[in-house]
Structure 1
Amino acid sequence: MSIIQTLPYEWLVGLRYTRAGKRSGRDSFISFISLISVTGIALGVAALIIVLSVMNGFQKDVTDRMLSVLAHVEVFGQDGGMPNWREAARQAGKHPAVRGAAPFVETQAMLLRDGAMRPSAIRGVLPGEEEKVSDVARQIVQGRFEDLQPGRFNIVLGDLLARSLNVGVGDKLTMLLAQAQTTPAGMLPRTRSFTVVGIFKSGHPDFDASFSFVHVEDAQRMERLGAPAGLRLRIDQVRDAPQVAEELKAYLPAGVVMRDWSKLNANWFAAVQTEKKMMFIVLTLIIAVAAFNLVSSLVMTVTDKQADIAILRTLGASPASIQKIFMIQGAVIGLLGTAAGVLLGVLVALNIDVIVPFIENLLGVQFLSKDIYLISTVPSELRWPDVARIGVVSVLLAFAATLYPSRSAARVKPAEALRYE
């Protein structure tokens, strides 16, 4: 005896109604409508998985570019300085998630060259330590990062910033500091001449157009500081940065100020999360439309099977059993559509790096131009929690679509249904 034969009769009848009948073309038409419902749900689920995976991929790609320059966690010393930064770095390194630490000084200035003036975020670093917390040394496209030597007042610029100032390696420029100095002519901004020894390219236009690096001792002299402002830390998992920052308070002296990378770009990440939520809601409407199609399919089935319902009622079936039959039919359609959609969406999301170039070559187009966008390929990052959430929403919508038709079937009166048969 097969497993299907051991099922309750509600399951047997419900599963039977999902297949094409052999008695009339009307049964085949209803089954065709059911197939359309399955297809609609599958396409909606697949579209939602693919779009969210692409958005996750874009977010990860941009985040990686940002964190190649930014620190995962920043620790600021008391009174604007951290003279014992080496000891603080050693203590922070005791946390199992911390991979590296480096001192820094950060300030704002204007860079001047032949009448061109551009604002820049100036970061003072130790070249030998900086590679522990950022990828700037590996992003140098001209010159050498190691040429940032104390007392020489050398500078490394982002490539877009260097291009806007029309400077290259070996050229000199003038830095105008925010602090003013008193002269016989009045209050004037402090200036310092710097020599360009390197140009880096992170791939993120905001950083490439505004960031500059100098030696930390030169930055201290410019800011008139006796020590670095604090430490920049790199950790294993960037998503754990807020939690790690909180835990580090137990390793470091009291009074230090923690700031993780998510707070440095809070507006950008809030905008991305809002966009993802709105996209989830909008694309869920596709599944909702397919669910409405499922309602029409079940209503047609109930109308066509009124004689069958009447016979089952006369044989002793309760209204609850009749309702269960059509709920099973709708649930099976929803589960089939969801399973097919999850399979299709996962396959496309995992192979989008192959599918998109194939479509571009086939149509002779390029979806992402390097001249306009940060990247030229469509990224994708499949997250299984997103897949699970989409699957649950799809199944719930399909189940909700069965409520009205199944209740209508339960209210069918046997005598009236058999009157015209």
Structure 2
Amino acid sequence: MKLAWQLARRFRQAKQKNRYISFISFSSTFGIGLGCFVLITLLSVMNGFERELTQRILAVIPHGELYSISNEGIEKWPQVVKTLQSDTRIASVEPYTKITGMLQHKAALKPVELTGLDVSGASHDNWLEQVTPAAWQRFVKQPDGVLLGQGLVNKLQLKTGDTLSVLVPVTTDDLAFKAPKMVKLTLVGVLSIGGELDNYLGMMHLGLASQAANITSGAQGVRVMLNDPFAAKSVMREIGFDFPQAVYMSDWTRTQGHLYNDIQLVRTVVYIVLTLVIAVACFNIVSTLVMSVREKRAAIAILKTMGAQDTLIRQAFMLQGLTNGIIGIAAGTLMAVLIAPNLSIIVKAIENLFNTEILSGDIYFIDFLPSQLETMDVVVTVVVAIILVVLATLYPASRAVKVAPASALNG
């Protein structure tokens, strides 16, 4: 193996004297490095989006819901909450009542979805990340208080302390509409979740929401937060099928699952496309080594006449190609490892420099480019790139072994 390394190094030094071969060799190294760098960086961005989805959206949106099919609500909901809390898969459970209506302030009307929560019973640590502590304290102390999304507050030009009206539709048993019920609320704070949720989401107290929705039991349903939110679909169906009364079952994949599916789709497309970019760069290694074999036919013939085995010659040319590939892989991976964790800062600096905005908080659920470097992404990318480089060296190395000493020396 030591002799093979020496031959590979000599062949590589001789190759650098030929500018054309040297250029193709450099382009293959550059292409592989660029492919590794972009692939690891974009996978880190996808990881960042998935992290923000979990920490932002899924901190506010319940992982699962069970809600009554009638206005009677959940029977004996305190006992139901206590039973579900004993399930090790569940992080927290809380009763809720959801009302949908029109939010009125002066002459303006906006659709709103208000969730009534029991602020005294369950833990609301996740909500504290979306509102200021002062706003949360005001909300807890004021029975008619409401927290509204930032988008709603901006569109209606609201400020803390404003009195609002919510028009809740009322239906009869024959599905005829009556005059809407009006609920008076006071704005005590702002929810900042991000994206479209800020344009219609709000929180109010459970008792007032149940009264407005005519829920006789006091709670329309129960909201469940799981230790593993990505198991929500199976867990909620298992719980729902064993529930003592008829309920509807829902989970976050039905309402916000498109965000997660989009992230996974982009991740898959990015991986396939950039792996093909690395594969195309590896074709340049094939071209470089094939030309190197043709240029070194005489040297190969002399080595064979001196007793060199086919294995030695094959290893020499494979190591020559591997050197180009590994240099590119190492350079691209090193750049990605240095840049990917700091990508958010770099992009923010670019936005400030050019006075532009890459992600708008009005459209997306975040207004910055997130990034989270995962060791497994780096390992998989490096392994796949090395495998492609090794495969690219097989054909030229086999051509080198087939060189006939007699014809090569005579030619």
**TM-score calculated relative to the size of structure 2:** 0.83
- Separation in 2 of the partners of 1:9 and 1:100? 65
Cα separation, partners in 2 of 1:111 and 1:364, compared to 1, 3 Å = closer
Larger deviation, residues 55-64 vs 103-112: 55-64
What's the counterpart of residue 272 of structure 1? 263
Q: Does 1:108 align with 2:90?
A: no
Q: Does 1:71 align with 2:65?
A: no
Cα displacement (A) at 1:342: 2.0
**Is contact 1:171–1:196 with CA below 8 Å preserved after alignment?**
yes
- Separation in 2 of the partners of 1:136 and 1:108? 24
Structure 1 unaligned spans of 5+: 1-6
Structure 2 unaligned spans of 5+: none
What's the counterpart of residue 397 of structure 1? 388
Task: Determine helix, strand or coil for the equivalent of 1:192.
Answer: strand
Q: How many residues align?
A: 405
- The code of the aligned residue for 1:383 comes to E
Cα displacement (A) at 1:393: 2.3
Task: Determine helix, strand or coil for the equivalent of 1:379.
Answer: coil
- Separation in 1 of the partners of 2:212 and 2:279? 61
Matches within 5 A, 1:234-383: 234-239=225-230, 241-242=232-233, 245=236, 259-317=250-308, 319=310, 322-356=313-347, 363=353, 365-366=355-356, 368=358, 375-383=366-374
What's the counterpart of residue 411 of structure 1? 402
Aligned mate of 1:50, from 36, 41, 44: 41
Task: Determine helix, strand or coil for the equivalent of 2:169.
Answer: strand
- Separation in 1 of the partners of 2:241 and 2:123? 26
Q: Does 1:20 align with 2:10?
A: no
Q: Does 1:206 align with 2:192?
A: no
Task: Determine helix, strand or coil for the equivalent of 1:188.
Answer: coil
- Separation in 2 of the partners of 1:249 and 1:225? 20
Q: Does 1:122 align with 2:114?
A: yes
**Is contact 1:69–1:135 with CA below 8 Å preserved after alignment?**
yes
Task: Determine helix, strand or coil for the equivalent of 2:178.
Answer: strand
Cα displacement (A) at 1:395: 1.7
**Is contact 1:100–1:133 with CA below 8 Å preserved after alignment?**
no
- The code of the aligned residue for 1:195 comes to L
Cα displacement (A) at 1:330: 2.2
**Is contact 2:181–2:212 with CA below 8 Å preserved after alignment?**
no
Aligned mate of 1:218, from 193, 208, 213: 208
What's the counterpart of residue 4 of structure 1? none
Task: Determine helix, strand or coil for the equivalent of 1:340.
Answer: helix
Taking only aligned residues, the RMSD between alpha carbons, in angstroms, comes to: 3.6
- Separation in 1 of the partners of 2:114 and 2:22? 68
Percent identity at matched positions? 32
What's the counterpart of residue 78 of structure 2? 86
- The code of the aligned residue for 2:335 comes to L
Cα displacement (A) at 1:43: 2.0
**Is contact 1:65–1:202 with CA below 8 Å preserved after alignment?**
no
> What are the Cα deviations for residues 62-105 of structure 1, in whole angstroms up to 9, with x where unaligned?
44221232123334467673233222322332234533221111
What's the counterpart of residue 171 of structure 1? 162
- Separation in 1 of the partners of 2:273 and 2:395? 24
